[in-house]
């Protein structure tokens, strides 16, 4: 996604070096539509510069700091020397992440999505999370809940969540659900114990997934799952609850799965 506006002074921007002159370097800004900036020779590197080409080359991707913006003259003054290695690395990673997110937008809504529609959806994600990438990441972790505070419609939310779950890699996600188990039959506590063992998977939990079942308060038990991605975590959580309910029903009892903890009044 390329922004149609102007960068702000102090902002870090990614650009491609387009033209090198004795007095400085012209840079096409990769994140802004039809915007070009100038790095004066004094801002290319610290100290005296004999030849600008000793420090930069055409086609090079560079991270620059915006020094000044004059919209009336369409002039953007940039600095290369004011960006340290840490800032450069972080900005490049952020830019690459946004390129990924831009591709996910095309997957979610099609390559032929109208510019106006694209901008509208993107602005909702940007408003909620600051970047498209973080918007998709939160959708992968939290599903539809991550988009509740946006004005996206149901179809748009579904498309984002589905695409995020298929494409976004996050280190680990944690999900929690609850199951109510009641067993008035003669098997009583032993029947509930069998249901809890079924919920824990009987040693058949997928590699890389952690599942923990704990007592909350009669008749409620908490199921917590830690997994590499949201889709796996949700699948393991629901399967655990289904096993517990199936096992308690075999014993002659009843079970019910819910995502939120019940209060004493419910």
Is 134 a domain residue? yes
The CATH number of residue 217's host domain is 3.30.70.1130
Boundary of a domain, candidates 116, 146, 167: 167
187-200: average pLDDT: 92
209-221: average pLDDT: 91
pLDDT digits (tens, 9 = 90+) for 52-76: 999 999 999 999 999 999 999 999 9
CA–CA separation, 173 and 165 (whole Å): 12
Is 266 a domain residue? no
Q: Which among 3-7, 8-12, 212-216 has the top mean pLDDT?
A: 8-12
Boundary of a domain, candidates 123, 142, 167: 167
Boundary of a domain, candidates 25, 52, 82: 82
CA–CA separation, 222 and 214 (whole Å): 5
Alpha-helical regions (H) of the chain: 85-109, 115-129, 132-142, 154-167, 188-199, 230-250
pLDDT at 208 over 80: no
CA–CA separation, 238 and 232 (whole Å): 10
Instruction: Tell whether 61 and 92 lie within a shared domain.
Output: no
How many other C-beta atoms are found inside a 10 Å radius of the C-beta of residue 209? 17
CA distances from 150 to 7, 130, 135 (A): 25, 13, 11
CA–CA separation, 59 and 19 (whole Å): 9
CA–CA separation, 256 and 34 (whole Å): 57
Lowest average pLDDT, out of 1-5, 191-195, 207-211, 256-260, goes to 1-5
226-231: average pLDDT: 84
* Residue whose C-alpha is closest to residue 98's, from 117, 122, 77, 118: 122
The CATH number of residue 51's host domain is 2.40.50.140
How many other C-beta atoms are found inside a 10 Å radius of the C-beta of residue 202? 9
State both tokens at 90.
Answer: 């972080």
Higher pLDDT, 217 or 80: 80
- pLDDT score, position 262: 66
Instruction: Tell whether 182 and 254 lie within a shared domain.
Output: yes
Instruction: Tell whether 100 and 149 lie within a shared domain.
Output: yes
Mean pLDDT rounded to a whole number for the chain: 91
* Domain count for the chain: 3
CA–CA separation, 198 and 47 (whole Å): 70
- pLDDT score, position 3: 79
119-141: average pLDDT: 92
CB 38 within 8 A of CB 78: yes
**Domain residue limits at 40:** 12-82
146-162: average pLDDT: 94
Higher pLDDT, 169 or 190: 190
**Helix/strand/coil for 22:** coil
pLDDT at 266 over 60: no
Instruction: Tell whether 76 and 122 lie within a shared domain.
Output: no
How many other C-beta atoms are found inside a 10 Å radius of the C-beta of residue 138? 21
């Amino acid at each position: 996604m390329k922004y149609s506006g102007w960068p702000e002074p102090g902002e870090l921007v990614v650009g491609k070096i387009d033209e090198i002159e004795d007095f400085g370097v012209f840079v096409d800004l990769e994140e802004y539509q039809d915007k070009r900036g100038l790095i004066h020779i004094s801002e290319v590197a610290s100290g005296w510069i004999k030849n600008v080409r000793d420090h930069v080359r055409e086609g090079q991707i560079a991270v620059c700091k915006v020094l000044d913006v004059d919209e009336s003259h369409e002039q953007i003054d940039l600095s290369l020397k004011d960006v340290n290695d840490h800032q450069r690395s972080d900005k490049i990673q952020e830019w690459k992440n946004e390129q990924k997110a831009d591709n996910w937008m095309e997957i979610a809504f099609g390559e032929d999505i109208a510019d106006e529609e694209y901008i509208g959806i993107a602005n909702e994600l940007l408003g909620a999370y600051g970047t498209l990438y973080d918007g998709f990441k939160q959708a992968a972790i939290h599903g539809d809940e991550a988009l509740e505070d946006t004005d996206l419609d149901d179809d748009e939310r579904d498309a984002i969540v589905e695409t995020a779950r298929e494409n976004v890699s996050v280190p680990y996600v944690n999900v929690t659900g609850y199951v109510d188990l009641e067993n008035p039959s003669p098997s009583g506590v032993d029947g509930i114990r069998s249901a809890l063992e079924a919920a824990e998977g009987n040693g058949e939990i997928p590699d890389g997934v952690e599942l923990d079942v704990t007592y909350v308060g009669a008749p409620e038990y908490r199921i917590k799952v830690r997994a590499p991605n949201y889709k796996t975590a949700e699948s393991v959580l629901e399967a655990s609850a289904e096993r517990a309910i199936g096992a308690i029903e075999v014993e002659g009892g009843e079970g019910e799965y819910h995502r939120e903890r019940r209060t004493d009044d419910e």
